[in-house]
């Protein structure tokens, strides 16, 4: 895997990582807020994996919108 760490995108990458971390923590406390399909995975895969799978299915825009709606920052 190649990872490019240009100073031009470093701030955006840091912010995106923070958004995902905060959403992950939120959904661990509020698992009913994830979609029905991902929620069903809790029984078979566990809560952490189900939340990860839900987050990986989000577009950047949707993740930012959900973060604003649920966490408000």
- Strand (E) positions, the chain? none
Condensed to tens digits (0 to 9), the pLDDT of residues 13-36 reads 889 999 999 999 999 999 999 999
The residues spanned by each domain of the chain are: 13-70
Mean pLDDT of 56-69: 95
What percent of the chain has pLDDT above 70?
93
What distance in Å separates the CA atoms of residue 39 and residue 68, rounded to the nearest whole number?
21
pTM of the model: 0.86
What percent of the chain has pLDDT above 90?
70
Structure tokens at 24: 């992950």
What distance in Å separates the CA atoms of residue 23 and residue 1, rounded to the nearest whole number?
25
> Would you say residue 57 has pLDDT above 90?
yes
């Amino acid at each position: 895997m190649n990872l490019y760490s240009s100073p031009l995108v470093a701030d955006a990458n840091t912010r995106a990582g923070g958004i995902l971390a905060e959403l992950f923590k939120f959904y661990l406390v509020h698992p009913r807020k994830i979609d029905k399909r991902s929620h069903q995975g809790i029984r078979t895969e566990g809560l952490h994996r189900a939340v990860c799978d839900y987050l990986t299915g989000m577009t950047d825009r949707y993740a930012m919108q959900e973060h604003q709606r649920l966490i408000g920052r």
